[in-house]
Amino acid sequence: MIRQEDSQALLVRAKQGDAAALGDLLTATHPYLRVLAKSMLDRRLQGKAAAEDLIQEAFLEAHRDFQSFRGDKLPEFLAWLRRILSNRASKLIRRYLGTKARDVRLERNMLQDLDRSSLCLASIAVVTEETPSRQAIENEQTLALAKAIEKLPNHYRDVIEMHQLQSLELAEVAEIMNRTHESVRKLWARGLVKLRSILKEME
């Protein structure tokens, strides 16, 4: 696993022109972008487009335009990637809706959705920490959390992504998953316990 401090070091090396470091850095952010892209596409396209395709397009653009990135901190880099992802997603949605004209409001709304999902992802740290800490959010543990979420069994991951990232009520999640409200509530609670266990294993 590439830890946050390792990702920061990769960013420094990438800014110095190390192409391999940039590749490793993008690889480290893949789970993070996958969680965000899947959440966004599930809300807007209902499975008509694959998150992986969107991520690959975003990575190609990030690799091509990295010299235009002016920040030097990991949170700034993640914000830059979210902007790229939102732009690629808005183009994808326009294609599915049959609209060629650029929609600035759509792009702004999608970026806000991604930023909100990123904060929700970080906030899961508070739920999974033995001792809730504001620092867990401020330290941008989103990369580790996204990696851990990817390791969850599908039913746990689906509940956490829908409830935590898409902000669906548990009753809505239950309807989508064709389960009772109580069974989904238990799945969510067990999923958080499992997520905590995975995070400890990754330390």
Q: Alpha carbon 203 to chain centroid distance?
A: 20
Q: How many domains does the chain have?
A: 1
Tens of pLDDT along the chain (203 residues) come to 445 448 889 999 999 999 999 999 999 899 888 888 877 765 555 555 677 888 899 999 999 999 999 999 888 998 899 889 888 887 777 776 655 555 556 556 655 666 666 656 666 654 445 444 444 343 447 777 888 888 999 999 889 888 877 778 999 989 989 999 999 999 999 998 998 888 888 77
pTM: 0.68
Q: CA 51, CA 43: separation in Å to the nearest integer?
A: 12
Question: What is each CA distance from 102 to 68, 80, 114, 153, in whole angstroms?
Answer: 22, 20, 19, 38
Spatial CA neighbour of 62 closest among 82, 79, 84, 90:
84
* Domain span including residue 194: 4-202
Spatial CA neighbour of 93 closest among 43, 59, 52:
43
